[in-house]
Structure 1
Amino acid sequence: MYRTKIIGAGSIGNHLANASRALGWKVDICDVDPAALDRTRNDIYPARYGAWDEEIGLYEAGQAPKGVYDLIFIGTPPDTHMDLALAAVEEGPRAILVEKPICGPDLMGAQTLMTQAAAKNVAGFVGYDHVVGSACLRAGEQIAAGIHGRVETLDVEIREHWGGIFGAHPWLEGPHDSYLGFWKRGGGAAGEHSHGFNMWQHLAHILDAGRVVEVTATLDYVQDGRVDYDRLCLANLRTEKGLTGRVVQDVVTRPPKKYARVQGDAGFVEWHCGYRSGADAVVWAKHDEDIQEEVFTKTRPDDFILEMQHIEAALKPGAPVSPISLARGLDTMLVIAATHKSAALGRSIGIDYTRGYVPEALVG
């Protein structure tokens, strides 16, 4: 049984706590705001999961034990992640999980975290849970089987109005009231919906296409004196082995559209999130053959339970590289940073991974 500390008593922190308890782990939740802890006990957790779990410990920040946890999860705003993650590594857990995006586009602290985690032998994960969901795993199997033939392009869209986010955080008045309304803090479409970039990179790895090395982007920013965020992010990507495709992310589309498509010369494979209410799906076909689909029923808590099960498996000796590893999450952060730089300069931006997770890795 793992002993787990969750930093942040917001929506994500509650999901992580419930998922951890579903696996029988011991859980403590910490937050700087006593009101957030009260909301967790009296509102969020019982409303979502039926009742408060008295086995969960609640601590104001700084009062929780240190150095006794197997896992430390960080579910706070992105502009607080790095300091908390570095402090978590110093406690010496087996692993840390940082929610997405892992930091702001300035990449402040990113390489330091990578270096320190390796030095302390602490495994790192980033919360891109879509890529470890049942539908994505099945899509990966179909892609690996070569249903599509020779890959020609890869498209991913994560387009969703962020009303759902504010519905899960009713204490926020709107985007101006949190990091969400500020792209430099990790908000906006490029940061908050960066599942799209991460999914594209994940599928590119399955296709053996390598990492993203070039980004050409157009972003539609909202700047009204109270907020500064991108509501629409359009990015063309190219990998080390020449695969090209696009990612579209926005915070305006409703109903949501979340899908990925691998198009080949012999057919296609698609992943769909929210294919219908309470279900994801994989859709595929070879040219001139009937379209097939496989539907995966799920709930929102299931997403996090699968993520916890994945982390548990990934920590076993001999486990393969995790698609939500710290390195993969930081690769995604480089693409997010390159996207903003490309939009600002109006030209393509290269990524030089030999320079590390630093602004100097963005070339052009």
Structure 2
Amino acid sequence: MNARVKVIGAGSIGNHLGHGCRTLGMDVTICDIDRSALERARDVIYPNRYGSWDDAITLATPDELAGEAFDIVIVGTPPATHLKVATAELETTSPGVILIEKPLAHPSSTDIDAFIAAAEKSSTRVLVGYNQRLKPNTKHFVHLATTLELGALQGLSSNMLESWDGILKAHFWMKSERDSYLAFTDQGGGALLEHSHALNLFLYFADVLGQGRVTDVVGDIEWVSHEDGRYDRDSALSLTLESGLVGTVRQDLHTWPASKEAIATFEKGALVWSMGDSSDRVEHRSTSGELIEAWDFPKTRPDDFIGELEHLRSVWENPQTKSPIDLPAGVAVMDVILAAFESSSSGTSEPVRIRN
């Protein structure tokens, strides 16, 4: 049986995930409160990215879908609306699975706590869209890290460095980052939230490699103010793990060409994870930095989402399926980010909330 999927939000990620669901044969409805956004998806974004519009996709406003049930709901609206939209779905339609695009939310611990409480009362499985955890190069990195005899982990770093140029190229209908939430950290934009794949990968690799959770963070953040608000342009984090290991994460909005990589350094070598436009990669390097072996994973941009969406369908088909992108993983990213903002303000190390 094909899953019936409702994608809420007709912007960039809504088009990517709607296209990915159609590639996997799912029935897709894209929903948006703005009729002009639906028309832009049909006439501009989708055909420019994927060649032509898919007439099998239904476009609708929320009023036109009132009371209609879906198996899977994907929330691809601006981050400041994620939790409000997802809570409404939990309380009214109760789909089998909800996928909330990253970041989970805007930086509000009160709203996050309220959503966790709502999700715990619901039978709906909630996932957060950190698709990098489910890509082939990530799986291979984990395989190597847990099977090669590399010795003790000595260092861990993760970076997502990409200027506005790269982001606006992907959002070609926008003239400026200020045309959306991107230039407003309080709305879920800025480097630390928009590029939170780096922090997410750090947390994932730290867990897989037995280092535990982040207990404390020092946030060195460069802020940019403009007439309408402000955003973090460059965020460098020093993260202390339960094991005692101290690692680093850096995310920025000014580096070009973009650099996206994570490095795990061991006693007997290092593993390097990287992401590119046409190929992802994993490298095994010696202690002196010499390349021992490399694995390339050619791809297109739509391929970036296929592993995540295959996993989403598997969770819908079998609700007992374990998931690396379950709600607690997305919450953990937000808890570190909230502590990092506190650290940036206080100028000192701040504890990270540890949840049961």
TM-score (norm 1): 0.93
* Match in the other structure for 1:359: none
Q: Structure 1 residues 103-112 or 203-212, which shifts more?
A: 103-112
Q: Does 2:70 match 1:69? A: yes
Q: Structure 1 residues 98-107 or 167-176, which shifts more?
A: 167-176
Alpha-carbon contact 1:148-1:286 (below 8 Å) kept:
no
* Match in the other structure for 2:312: 311
Structure 1 residues 139, 227: closer, same or farther in 2, change over 3 A? same
Alpha-carbon contact 2:162-2:256 (below 8 Å) kept:
yes
Q: How far apart in 1 are the matches of 2:84 and 2:319? A: 30
Alignment of 1:243-258 (within 5 A): 243-258=245-260
* Match in the other structure for 1:5: 6
Alpha-carbon contact 2:166-2:258 (below 8 Å) kept:
no
Secondary structure, aligned partner of 2:47: helix
Secondary structure, aligned partner of 1:109: helix
Q: How far apart in 2 are the matches of 1:317 and 1:286? A: 41
Q: Does 2:301 match 1:300? A: yes
Q: Does 2:105 match 1:136? A: no
Q: Does 2:43 match 1:42? A: yes
Q: Which digits, 9 at most, give the CA deviation of each residue in 1:326-352, with x for residues without a partner? A: 110110011111111110110111123
Look up the equivalent residue of 1:262 and give its one-letter code. A
Q: Deviation at 1:48?
A: 1.5
Structure 1 residues 330, 232: closer, same or farther in 2, change over 3 A? same
Look up the equivalent residue of 2:282 and give its one-letter code. V
Alpha-carbon contact 2:282-2:295 (below 8 Å) kept:
yes
Secondary structure, aligned partner of 1:291: strand
Alpha-carbon contact 2:162-2:254 (below 8 Å) kept:
yes
Q: How far apart in 1 are the matches of 2:331 and 2:319? A: 23
Alpha-carbon contact 1:155-1:247 (below 8 Å) kept:
yes
Q: Which digits, 9 at most, give the CA deviation of each residue in 1:275-310, with x for residues without a partner? A: xx5100000134477521000001110111221012
Alpha-carbon contact 1:101-1:186 (below 8 Å) kept:
yes
Q: Which digits, 9 at most, give the CA deviation of each residue in 1:49-82, with x for residues without a partner? A: 1221111110123322435101100111111111
Alignment of 1:112-131 (within 5 A): 112-131=114-133
* Match in the other structure for 1:324: 325
Alpha-carbon contact 1:147-1:269 (below 8 Å) kept:
no
Match of 2:104 among 98, 102, 108: 102
Look up the equivalent residue of 2:4 and give its one-letter code. R
* Match in the other structure for 1:167: 169
Structure 1 residues 239, 132: closer, same or farther in 2, change over 3 A? same
- Where structure 1 has 5 or more consecutive residues not aligned to the other structure, the ranges are 357-364
Q: Does 2:183 match 1:198? A: no
* Match in the other structure for 1:83: 84
Q: Structure 1 residues 241-250 or 345-354, which shifts more?
A: 345-354
Q: How far apart in 2 are the matches of 1:269 and 1:319? A: 32
Look up the equivalent residue of 2:314 and give its one-letter code. A
How many correspondences in the alignment?
353
Alignment of 1:270-289 (within 5 A): 270-274=272-276, 277-287=277-287
Alpha-carbon contact 1:147-1:267 (below 8 Å) kept:
no
Alpha-carbon contact 1:313-1:319 (below 8 Å) kept:
no
Q: How far apart in 1 are the matches of 2:294 and 2:239? A: 28
Look up the equivalent residue of 1:297 and give its one-letter code. P
Look up the equivalent residue of 1:219 and give its one-letter code. I
Secondary structure, aligned partner of 1:148: coil
* Match in the other structure for 1:93: 95
Percent identity of equivalent pairs: 37
Q: How far apart in 1 are the matches of 2:68 and 2:95? A: 7
Q: Deviation at 1:113?
A: 2.0
Alpha-carbon contact 2:163-2:255 (below 8 Å) kept:
yes
Look up the equivalent residue of 2:284 and give its one-letter code. W
Q: How far apart in 2 are the matches of 1:96 and 1:7? A: 11
Alpha-carbon contact 1:182-1:188 (below 8 Å) kept:
yes
Q: How far apart in 2 are the matches of 1:64 and 1:29? A: 10
Q: How far apart in 1 are the matches of 2:322 and 2:240? A: 23
Q: Deviation at 1:241?
A: 2.0
Q: How far apart in 1 are the matches of 2:16 and 2:302? A: 6
Alpha-carbon contact 1:67-1:93 (below 8 Å) kept:
no
Q: Deviation at 1:45?
A: 1.1
Cα RMSD of the aligned pairs, angstroms, is 1.7
Q: Deviation at 1:227?
A: 3.8
Q: How far apart in 2 are the matches of 1:66 and 1:132? A: 32
Secondary structure, aligned partner of 2:64: coil
Structure 1 residues 290, 166: closer, same or farther in 2, change over 3 A? closer
Secondary structure, aligned partner of 1:63: helix
* Match in the other structure for 2:271: 269
Q: How far apart in 1 are the matches of 2:270 and 2:149? A: 7
Secondary structure, aligned partner of 1:55: coil
